[in-house]
Amino acid sequence: MKNKKKFRLVDAILGTVCLTLVCESVMPTAAIGNSQYAWWLILLIGFCLPYGMITAELGTTYPSEGGMYDWVKRAFGPKWAGRVAWNYWVNFPLWISSLAVAVTDIIVGMFDIELNNKTILDMGCGTGVLAIAALKLGAASAIAIDIDHWSVVNAEENALRNNVQMTVIEGGAEQINGKFDVILANINRNILLEQMPAYATALNANGTLCLSGFYKTDIYILKEKAQSLNLHFVSQIERDEWVSLKFEK
């Protein structure tokens, strides 16, 4: 009987090297110009194909949901799985800056909100960083919701590691239950437009709604939607083409 291959330390090191190569490839590629095609060919042979083969092998050996998080958890336990998951999310915004900008905008906006003893709803929570930050800043309670199963598992473990108690739920706006003083939503424009009525219903009187994850060109339609729901515009933060909007009920 053929033994299953185990995820070893060398595999973790190679995975980290692969992640680093992704970050290092962006600026050199932009500076090279038209000759970047040769660089991309080298990148394809030296990175993309090996990375794909490694992922395919691990996915076949460990077919359960969770991907990289599950692979590391099986081999080294939940502590290292959590660290690798954080490493992935830290690396990811380095080459897809929109995620970093959107999350930064909301966190910056949170410092302008009185969070002491407030109830928080974090929609599209991802790693749970916004809900965790709100609790660290004095919020009484927080509920985090995301449609992605891996994000839910990761947010639960991140809350545990940060010594905060919050409820993490898998699903969308249909999972919203109760009233909240502050609602944070870092999602794309179309989802925000679809879910804003649910946010308005769940928001307490004088509550605050912070939206992020969209472009400057989306400001008008989002403000118009908010106005139709009796949500009053308060302020906005702009970073390049990305925007965060704050409303009150």
| Residue 112 neighbours by CB under 8 Å, 6+ apart | 235, 246
Here the tokens at position 54 are 């490694």
Report the alpha-carbon distance of residue 68 to residue 181 in Å, rounded. Answer: 35
The reply to whether 136 and 216 lie within a common domain is yes
- Decide if 233 contacts 223 (C-beta within 8 A): yes
Average pLDDT of every residue of the chain:
79
Is residue 26, in this structure, part of any structural domain at all? yes
- Torsions phi, psi for 223 (to 5 deg): -65, -40
The reply to whether 73 and 172 lie within a common domain is no
Is residue 123, in this structure, part of any structural domain at all? yes
| Phi-psi map region of 231: left, alpha, beta (phi>0 left; psi -120 to 50 alpha) | beta
Give the total number of structural domains in the chain.
2
pLDDT tens column, 2-34: 445 556 666 666 666 666 655 555 555 555 555
The reply to whether 76 and 35 lie within a common domain is yes
The reply to whether 87 and 159 lie within a common domain is no
pLDDT tens column, 114-156: 888 999 999 998 888 889 988 988 899 999 999 888 889 989 9
Give the range of the structural domain holding residue 59, as residue numbers without chain letter. 9-95
- Decide if 234 contacts 249 (C-beta within 8 A): no
3-class SS at 237?
Answer: strand
Domain termination site, one of 95, 115, 135:
95
Mean pLDDT computed over 219-227:
93
